[in-house]
Chains A and B, each alone.
Chain A
Amino acid sequence: MSRSEHSPCGSCQQRCCQDYVVTVTGYDAWLIATQLRLAMEQFLVRFEPNQPTAECFRLDRSDRCFDIALAKRNEDQERAACVFWLALPHGYGRCGIYPLRPLVCQVYPTFLADGLVHLRTDALCPPRGWNLARLDLPQWRRRLVWSRVQQEIYRYAVGCWNNWVDARAQQSAVPAGVYLGYLTALYTRLDEVWKDLSPANRDLVLDQWDACTRTQVAPLLASAGEGNGEPSHAWPELLVALRAAVELALPRQPAQDIAAPRATEEPAEAQLVLHPIPA
């Protein structure tokens, strides 16, 4: 966010960094861990959401599934500050990982609908604090598309992981650390995939991805050629590379073939939600 752009965050009471449970994608977790040289366990918590989502992973064949979120300063308190929150004197506070903050924080309080940037009506921001007319909308839109792409890649990765768990010969639960290891291996590979794209091709594939999701097609789950518009040659190559990266990052072993996850619901925007982390 540029300093010239109007943002009410500087003078806000920063409730969003305290009241929300910030669920993250594997990309967010990988980026923070690699840039800060941290173990994911040092800043993530695993919790069982009330309503399972497409981001929920399993560790055994039971129905128990988990999501990951940024830890809180005081894990016993529902409304404690985010683990990365810097509380300064005189009531000031700032995010300590601002350039690396999760995508869901970067796009807050906006969302994309029909290709347009909208403001959430349930945001915790000061009333009339945000004004769409004063935002750099193309920049916000790019950020929202990138966030959606990462969310869909993560959903695909979680689906493949859950299929792998189902296909395991052993009945015992997989340690949670193995899941985090899978995320680390996967996003390290994906980083190479994205780096191999020229800036022009990257813009093209993001546009293509956006066009697909507007028609409710999740690109990684769709068959080749599905979607809107004229695909660039980089588009099918990217999808192949992303799928291959996920397959290669999964732990070795399964006796049966691992099926790719099937689309079960419409792509939805990742949003910050208010819900407690169960003890």
Chain B
Amino acid sequence: MIGSCEPSSKALLWLSCREKRCCSYYSVAPTGRDLWRLAETLDVPIWAFTVYTDAPADAADAFALDTSDRRFRVVLAKRPDEELGEQESAPCVFLWRLRDGHAQCGLGGLRPMVCQTYPSILQDGLLCMGESSGCSCHAWALSHLDGEQETRLLERLAGERAEYAAVLRAWNARVAQAFVGRAHDYVEFCDYLTTAYAERHDNLAG
């Protein structure tokens, strides 16, 4: 799913990284728009490449499946280790290894915004380097980035997160209004996300 545009200097550094430990070290929590974009492009339902994990109740990207206080978060699935089974440190399901062991993201330009912006963050509007303890081949520096381009990406990520939070608030309100004991399953939730984003897309296009 690689895009064919000219990569930035940051993307070149990332492409040349052999291990791509960030793709194993972290659980990647995409925005709803990332999920919808992936599902649309790959023609695969959201539940087929994600799992849900426990999340703090006050997290902006937390969703409910029943009227209890339990909240969850969508993360990209991990590739189960053949010997060790499913592990937190297992590689992302979209990561592949080439003949010489070099790791490559199969999503390329389609990868979630949080992956594209890693490891930079916006702190009170200021572009900074965030925690990048997963990196093994070099230490990231601001000089590796195109400041304007990176800031635009981070602002877009913030916008997508705000949009996702609104979509989830609507879902959570719907779940809360259901009679006590009524539980939704994850597939239902994924279908809701797909429909919600498709409607938003159609409204924008129309």
Q: Contact between B99 and A43 (Cβ–Cβ < 8 Å)?
A: yes
Select A96's contact among B1, B15, B49, B77, beta carbons within 8 Å.
Answer: B1
Q: List the B side residues contacting A97 at CB < 8 Å.
A: 1-2, 106
Nearest 7 interchain pairs by C-beta: A96-B106, A42-B98, A86-B106, A10-B43, A37-B15, A92-B48, A90-B48
Q: A88 and B44 in contact (CB under 8 A), knowing A37-B12, A97-B2, A100-B4?
A: yes
Is residue A83 contacting chain B, with contact meaning CB distance below 8 A? Answer: yes
Question: How far in angstroms is the closest Cβ of chain A from B202?
Answer: 15
Q: Which residues on A are within 8 Å of B, measured CB to CB?
A: 3, 10, 35-38, 41-43, 45, 71, 73, 75, 83-90, 92, 94, 96-100
17 new A-B contacts at CB < 8 Å, known A10-B44, A90-B47: A36-B2, A36-B108, A37-B15, A38-B98, A38-B104, A71-B99, A73-B96, A83-B99, A86-B94, A86-B96, A88-B44, A89-B49, A94-B1, A94-B43, A96-B94, A96-B104, A97-B106
Within the assembled complex, what's the spacing in Å between the Cα atoms of A94 and B45? 12
Q: Contact between A99 and B49 (Cβ–Cβ < 8 Å)?
A: no
Smallest CB gap from B5: residue in A:
A35
Q: A92 and B49 in contact (CB under 8 A), knowing A41-B100, A42-B98, A86-B96?
A: yes
Question: How far in angstroms is the closest Cβ of chain A from B114?
Answer: 19
Is residue B142 contacting chain A, with contact meaning CB distance below 8 A? Answer: no
Smallest CB gap from B96: residue in A:
A96
Q: List the A side residues contacting B93 at CB < 8 Å.
A: 86-89
Q: Contact between B1 and A98 (Cβ–Cβ < 8 Å)?
A: yes
Q: List the B side residues contacting A100 at CB < 8 Å.
A: 2, 4
Q: Contact between A88 and B98 (Cβ–Cβ < 8 Å)?
A: no
